[in-house]
Amino acid sequence: MSGNNYDVAVIGGGINGVGVAQAAAAAGHSVVLLEKQGLAAGTSSKSSKLIHGGLRYLESYEFGLVRESLRERALLLELAPDLVQLQKFLVPLYRKTRRGPLLLRTGLSLYYLLSGMNAEARFTSVPRSGWDSLNGLRTDNLRAVFRYTDARTDDALLTEAVMRSAQQLGAELLCPAMFCGAEVHADGCELHYRTGEWERSCSARVLVNAAGPWINEVATKITPTPPKISVELVQGAHIAVPGSLGDDFFYLESPRDGRAVFVMPRDGYLLIGTTETRYRENPDNVRPLPGEESYLLGVLRHYFPGFGKINRSNLLNSWAGLRVLPGGPGHAFHRSRETILQPDRRDRPRVLGLYGGKLTTYRATASKVIERIAPSLISRKPVADTARLPLSLG
Ligand SMILES: Cc1cc2nc3c(=O)[nH]c(=O)nc-3n(C[C@H](O)[C@H](O)[C@H](O)COP(=O)(O)OP(=O)(O)OC[C@H]3O[C@@H](n4cnc5c(N)ncnc54)[C@H](O)[C@@H]3O)c2cc1C
């Protein structure tokens, strides 16, 4: 294919969009990716920056998702050592903590099992004699402390690295390029986009809508409008405060509502997140709320008395991103975090919507997308396998 005709057009330069571009190019297809603002400008630079199985998803019995995430974690540690590194986490349990030591021990054992009993995934309990050296962590009413291993990354740099890999395989990146609309015909789509003052068009056999929180807004611009899934956008805020706490990350339970909150020492500051607040406005305008910043500061002050005087005026920075969760009754916490693929038609889809997902599982998700759209594409000779392609800082 040449010129303005592509096998696959991807809307959205977040981790999922670039993952699909990489997988499609690796499968030998011609690919164009349209990003309106900048790579990782959306949710993919606002995450907790963890490459993890998601210990807390065990509570909602999402064993398949946890196993897949742990498999991807192991792969990324191998493929992207500059971008993904192992990270120790401490989980302190107090008299009033909702999850007791037995439950946590069971969860961590299951986590270890689901990781394929990888030596790195072993957990330990920190003996009482070591509690005073936990970097100022409150020790009154402390019952137990566990240490386990997951991984950390830089979400924006990872996104850029995957796009670079896709480009090395021949994918084209158009950025900034705002998708404005598409007409779907028998064998594909005609797409329209804006770069600067110019309106341009191209065609593709399949359009993959990976626009994250903007997914249904993008879907509405397609004629005929493909089936959409009703979603709930849930805002998650992070704050950065000055300070250091050694090398371990802390997995804490908010004393206010029992939610999991991470306190993560980064280079010279502490990254703390996250919240869960329903969001109904334009995704372009998502911002942390004062109440979210106070909530996260409250967790820090509660567990680390040395930070007792810190308040909102001390914040170095704060930001918020949006989770895309399937709509439904009950609290968002209990909704599935699995990715949902929504085609415009069952056989030979011309449009595929990618709802939800995790940073960690972008590669597995992209493989599923390619499998799902393969019947709509001309069979081509694969040029690479994404499970073997190294990713680097560039
Ligand atoms: C607070 C929070 C913490 C998280 N922490 C973690 C974590 O630690 N680990 C983990 O694995 N996962 C985590 N996640 C999940 C993960 O961050 C997201 O699933 C992932 O980043 C979503 O990527 P995406 O590519 O689907 O969407 P996005 O990154 O939002 O990308 C969508 C892109 O589409 C572009 N776009 C929109 N409309 C148009 C248009 N008309 N034309 C062109 N481009 C358009 C946007 O500019 C944007 O760049 C977290 C999520 C949140 C909200």
pLDDT, tens only, 114-141: 988 877 778 999 999 999 889 899 999 9
Query: pLDDT averaged over the chain?
Result: 94
Percentage of residues in the chain with pLDDT exceeding 70?
98
CATH code of 317's domain: 3.30.9.10
**Is residue 346 located within the same domain as residue 285?**
no
**Is residue 31 located within the same domain as residue 171?**
yes
pLDDT band at 42 (very low <50, low <70, confident <90, very high): very high
With respect to residue 35, please indicate whether it lies within any of the assigned structural domains: yes
170: left (phi over 0), alpha (psi -120 to 50) or beta: left
With respect to residue 115, please indicate whether it lies within any of the assigned structural domains: no
With respect to residue 187, please indicate whether it lies within any of the assigned structural domains: yes
pLDDT band at 3 (very low <50, low <70, confident <90, very high): low
With respect to residue 348, please indicate whether it lies within any of the assigned structural domains: yes
With respect to residue 239, please indicate whether it lies within any of the assigned structural domains: yes
pLDDT band at 309 (very low <50, low <70, confident <90, very high): very high
pLDDT, tens only, 233-263: 999 999 999 999 999 999 999 999 999 999 9
**Is residue 309 located within the same domain as residue 173?**
no
Rg of the Cα atoms in the chain: 22
What are the residues whose beta carbons fall under 8 Å from the beta carbon of 244, sequence distance 6 or more?
Answer: 265, 268, 269, 270
**Is residue 239 located within the same domain as residue 368?**
no
**Is residue 213 located within the same domain as residue 340?**
yes
**Is residue 163 located within the same domain as residue 281?**
no
Out of 214, 286, 362, give the residue to mutate to test ligand 1, the one with the largest number of ligand atoms within 8 Å of its CB: 214
**Is residue 40 located within the same domain as residue 168?**
yes
Q: What residue numbers bound the domain in which 366 lies?
A: 5-44+156-230+336-376
Task: Look at residue 328 and tell me whether its pLDDT is greater than 90.
Answer: no
**Is residue 162 located within the same domain as residue 172?**
yes
**Is residue 207 located within the same domain as residue 162?**
yes
User: How big is the CA angle at 277 (ends 275 and 278), to the nearest 5 degrees?
Assistant: 155
Say how many Å lie between the CA of residue 43 and the centre of ligand 1. Answer: 3
**Is residue 360 located within the same domain as residue 310?**
no
Say how many Å lie between the CA of residue 14 and the centre of ligand 1. Answer: 5
What is the total count of domains within the chain?
2
pLDDT, tens only, 61-97: 889 899 999 999 999 999 999 999 999 999 999 998 9
Q: pTM for the full model?
A: 0.97
Tell whether ligand 1 has an atom less than 6 A from the beta carbon of residue 212: yes
**Is residue 370 located within the same domain as residue 304?**
no
